[in-house]
Structure 1
Amino acid sequence: MEKEPIKSHKDLKVYQMAFDAAMKIFELSKKFPVEERYSLTDQIRRSSRSVCANMAEAWRKRRYEAAFVAKLNDCESEAAETQTWIEFAVKCNYLSVESGRELYGTYNQILGGLVNMIANPTPWLMKR
């Protein structure tokens, strides 16, 4: 079976994982306490969504390797930030240990995919 060609950032497995994780965080964070609305809730939602937004931007910057890699680095740092917020959410008992572990592991996979793209950007760059 032949793989479909990647036509957009939405076709990237790492993007799909990040989008699904951000949506899961959105749903889970609805249960966070009201007093966290302008801190942890906003922060974890913002950073998780930012992984996806930066990936869309990176995809559009594929003409220039340095710009592409720089945006992927932004994705990587936002994913790592999201992991930190997950840790806080678990320690504050807003997320169960199981949910936290699952989300954290998903972000490890996302980070792995991003690091691979950063280390080997050539297949993703636009052909001139």
Structure 2
Amino acid sequence: MVKRSEESLVKLATLLIGILGVTALASSLAWGQGFSAEISGVAHDASGAVIPGVSVTAKHIESGLTRTVNTSETGNYSIPSLPVGAYELTAELAGFKQQLRRGITLAVGQEAVVNLTMEVGEIKDNVTVTAWSRRTKSRICH
């Protein structure tokens, strides 16, 4: 009889742990999908050719949170699980002008599509040289 009640308790405990696990998983999935949004799109040039390797940064205006991704070989990018609110999007790649998109407002569950047309620009290199030297006296002997 004691053995039977122990087996029943083990089965009950296992069942409760399983139910709690499923509930926790379901609520975390609902939280992730219910209170966030996504920005995605394609980067291409003026001729319509896709551009891989573009660095795309989404900045949440209210919090200052930034998320950066690079476009894929097919020029696609996706920035999922973003908090709702206002965003600005920056796209950069050497040889192209920086693109800045403002006025992007994400609502709960929204999947905003923001395609980027990159314009060819000058490649600029900034070189900053900072030097400091100490003056010393030297004697030259012949």
TM-score over 0.5 for the alignment? no
The TM-score range, normalised by the shorter chain, is under 0.3
Whichever structure has more helix as a proportion of its residues is 1
Q: Quick check: which has more Rg, 1 or 2?
A: 2
Whichever structure has more strand as a proportion of its residues is 2
Given the two structures, how large is their TM-score scaled by the length of structure 1? Answer: 0.25
Bigger relative contact order (CA 8 A; separation at least 6): 1
